[in-house]
Structures are given as C-alpha cells and as structure tokens.
Chain A
C-alpha cells in the first residue's frame, strides 16, 4: 500500500483556471505538508497542518488554499493559475511537526504532481 498518495500525477491546464491536488496518507501521522519543487529542483515548504490545524504558511500567495478535512488528507486548491505556478508539488507527512528529538520527525513524501500551466 502506498504510504502517501497524490492525485493527479500530471496536471496540464490553462492560465487563469482553478485546480486542485489531493493528498492522502495511511501512516497515521498527525502532520502533513505541501512542498513546491521548481525546475531547478529546489524544495520549498508551502504549508504544514497538524491535526487539521494550519501551523506553517510560508508567505504563499493567497491563490493557494490548503484544506484538511481530516488528519489523513490535505488537499491543495489553486485559483487563477499563473505560468510561474508550473512546478512539481509534493505532499508529505510526519508523526510530529519539526524535530521532536525522538526520531519521529521523519517526513514521508508522496510521488508528486507535475503541474504545467500553459
């Protein structure tokens, strides 16, 4: 069974459209994340949720809105897509947010969603 899954794997859309990416984890973790990986492979955190509560928002444009219906799901909705939004988006999960000092802060990543905005 896949630990962290994302759908869709590929998303091609026109500028100005609205799209969503879904993420689910079956690890029983309390914390979930969204990362953006640009064309140069740089990984940057966007959001983090712990027990369905937003704990990190890294100055992401408000066109990006995460939603966590329960601890196992964290979806990302993007309004008015722009060319610069083209990237690979990764969902991840961990048992606790950040370093718990106990080795429970390992983050497990999903396979990624490649978003292309034309």
Chain B
C-alpha cells in the first residue's frame, strides 16, 4: 500500500517533443506528490510538486496532471530539450517520509 508505481522505465523523445511519465499510488493517506529530477553524479532535486486538491500544476515547460479518483499523476515535459535528459522520480509523501517511484530515464535526442 505504500508503493508508488512509475512508468515507463525509460523514454526516448526527440527534441521539441512531449515527454510523459506516469505514476500511480494506492494509499489515500498520501497528501503531497513531488517530482524529482536527477542528473548523473548528482543528487535528486525537486522539480515540481502538487497537492491532491489541485488537478493540474504548471511551471514553465513542466506540468503535473493529477487524477485523485484514479490515484494517478503524471509529468508532462513540453518542448523537451537535450538538457532535460535525466532520471525523473515521482514520489508520494506520507507517514513522515517520501516514497519514491522506480524512476524513468529520459533521453532527449537532438
């Protein structure tokens, strides 16, 4: 019940395309859903986050869509750039901790 399932495991997108990463959770006690971005050799860094009382949040080219009834949320990266190539983790907050999805390796080809 504390799992967060993330897909796909890896994603290849052409420059300018849209990258979409999906996550699903089971426990309705989770109340904060951040996305973290990790570049090789670096620690994860918060990219964007949403609370379950909001269905969408947009920050620049990054948008989170949240479906509370389906217990699913997704990250959309518009106009994907080679500099977006990284590993992306969704997470859910509950029980005094963040539970991370397994990560998605995104490669944006020029």
* Interface residues in chain A, defined as those with a beta carbon under 8 Å from any beta carbon in chain B: 4, 33, 40-45, 48, 50, 55-56, 90, 92, 97-99, 101, 103, 105-112
Is the contact region of chain B dominated by helix, strand, or loop, or is it mixed? strand
Q: Is the CB of B103 within 8 A of A42?
A: yes
- From the candidates B41, B49, B95, B105, name the one contacting A106 in the complex (CB within 8 A): B49
List of A residues within 8 angstroms of B31 by Cβ: 99, 101
Q: CA of A1 to CA of B6 in the docked complex: distance in angstroms?
A: 33
* Interface residues in chain B, defined as those with a beta carbon under 8 Å from any beta carbon in chain A: 30-32, 34, 36, 38, 41-46, 49, 51, 87, 89, 93-100, 102-103, 105
Q: CA of A56 to CA of B43 in the docked complex: distance in angstroms?
A: 21
Q: Is the CB of A43 within 8 A of B44?
A: yes
Give the distance to chain B from A98, nearest Cβ to Cβ, in Å.
4
* Contact A55 B96, CB 8 Å, known A42-B102, A99-B31, A105-B32: yes
